[in-house]
Amino acid sequence: MASAPLFDTTDNTATADGKDAVLRDVHAYRLARVRQQLLDHKVPAILLYDPVNIRYVTDTSNMQVWAGRNPARYIMVFADGRIVAWEFHGSEHVWDGLDLDVEFRPAVSWTYFNAGPDAERRAEQWGVEIVDVFRKHAPGDFLLAVDRLDPFGDAYLERHGMALVDGQALMESARLIKSPGELVPMGESLRTAKQGIERMRQEMRPWMNENAVWAHLHFENISNGGEWIETRLLASGARTNPWMHECMSRVLQSVELLAFDTDMVDPNGYCSDISRTWLVGDGRPSYEQRKLYELAYTQVHANMDILRAGMTREFSEKAWKIPDEYVRTRYCCLAHGIGMVDEYPSIAHQVDWASAGYDGLFETGMTVCMESYIGADSGTQGVKLEQQVVLTEHGCVPLTQCSFETDWL
């Protein structure tokens, strides 16, 4: 296993012109990936509502969290690269500076919030325009990929001769393989996350509450141009077992554990998904704390050593075996893809394969988060660790320099 990152995450020496050139290449690569998916599946176009998918194709960002709940902007991407964008009211400026062939139209929103009891009629208005645009640019065809769509829209398109294809599957497949250029903005995001993690570590004190610690991560993210944090997964003391408690006003106590998971969408729209576990205060960890930590550390790094391009289900079969007393509280997956957010695939533990596993292929250029949670079934504390890596022809290479508590091992 390589112990050094693929690139120096502390390097800020690249010129603005150099970064702009990299980002132009990244944008072209991402659009080409989506076009290739459409061509491979013989689908002439895809309609996108998911703000992360829209960001991937166009690099436009407009109220991403709000737009994830309120479908108020959408685009149609054709296999020839043409883009029709229905933008939110008065927001065409979010496309400024982008070198894209785009036809702009005002978005038609038919959520109940926007349309009230007139939602179905507004959906008909929306549908007329969608069908018209599709038939204008893909005459004689009827297949349209869609990543998400509410019932009125689905019903209208099917009534008017359209056959809908799962667009989310196409987009997850497009986003799967990162170009070398994508690792540059991803690295910038990881640098921001590292700053936030270091700030939390520096400011953490006994008698401080969990929310106050977590706020330091938000501060660094927003002040460096980041966007949002998907969860509030930070817990201390007995709340570290079981995992999945979100932070609250609980006051930290000296020599207890504090664990967190960043789930942080940083500058350029890429996610930094890093978990670490610390000891509160200046004491020394107990034997039990060190044992939990060593098991979690071993799981992450042993699985990094195992994973190789070309593997399929065998990764789950060969993965480090969790000791019996920690199996019931295991994390929900062994590993998962990462890009702009958590992405395909999600790799099930072997014990969960019948209910949650699916076949696939690990490929060079995938970026992956290696997961571990270790906490005894009847225990009062646990350790959460997660490392973000890129899969190369030689194996996993870490993408972050965030340190582990190796002196506990």
Domain stops at, among 150, 175, 200: 175
Domain stops at, among 155, 175, 195: 175
pLDDT at 8: 43
pLDDT at 16: 73
Q: Are residues 287 and 192 in the same domain?
A: yes
pLDDT at 17: 77
Cα–Cα distance for residue pair 384/382, rounded to 1 Å: 7
CA–CA distances in Å: residue 30 to residues 26, 174, 327, 390: 6, 8, 39, 17
Predicted structure pTM score:
0.93
Q: Are residues 159 and 198 in the same domain?
A: no
Over residues 32-66, the pLDDT tens digits come to 999 999 999 999 999 999 999 999 999 999 999 99
Is 227 domain-assigned? yes
pLDDT at 10: 42
Question: Mean pLDDT for each 10-residue chunk of the chain (409 residues)?
Answer: 40 67 95 98 98 97 95 97 97 94 95 92 96 97 96 95 97 98 96 97 97 98 96 98 98 98 95 98 97 98 98 97 98 98 98 97 98 96 98 97 96
Is 137 domain-assigned? yes
Q: How many CB atoms lie within 10 A of CB 283?
A: 11
CATH (domain of 240): 3.90.230.10
Q: Are residues 139 and 285 in the same domain?
A: no
pLDDT at 261: 98
Q: Quote the distance between the C-alpha of residue 226 and its chain's center.
A: 14
Domain stops at, among 130, 159, 175: 175
Q: Are residues 234 and 364 in the same domain?
A: yes
pLDDT at 18: 82
CA dihedral 179, 180, 181, 187 (to 10 degrees): 110
Q: Are residues 122 and 238 in the same domain?
A: no
Q: Are residues 125 and 228 in the same domain?
A: no
Q: Are residues 189 and 164 in the same domain?
A: no
Is 4 domain-assigned? no
Q: CA-based diameter of the chain, in Å?
A: 72
Q: Are residues 339 and 191 in the same domain?
A: yes
Domains of the chain: total: 2
Is 6 domain-assigned? no
For residue 91, what are the domain limits? 16-175
Q: Are residues 188 and 166 in the same domain?
A: no
Is 86 domain-assigned? yes
CA–CA distances in Å: residue 20 to residues 17, 26, 268: 5, 10, 12
Residue type at position 59 = D
Cα–Cα distance for residue pair 97/104, rounded to 1 Å: 15
Q: Are residues 193 and 102 in the same domain?
A: no
Is 1 domain-assigned? no
Q: Are residues 284 and 303 in the same domain?
A: yes
How is residue 1 written in tokens? 């296993």
Is 208 domain-assigned? yes
Cα–Cα distance for residue pair 305/241, rounded to 1 Å: 27
Is 9 domain-assigned? no
For residues 156 and 144, the answer to whether their CB atoms sit within 8 Å is no
Q: Are residues 30 and 95 in the same domain?
A: yes
pLDDT at 20: 87
pLDDT at 101: 87
Can you tell me whether residue 388 is helix, strand or coil? strand
Question: Could you please report the per-residue DSSP string of 96-148?
Answer: TT----EEEEE----SHHHHGGGHHHHHHHHHHHHHHHHHHHSTT--EEEES-
Q: Residue 248 class from Cβ within 10 Å (0-12 exposed, 13-18 middle, 19+ buried)? A: middle
CATH (domain of 123): 3.40.350.10
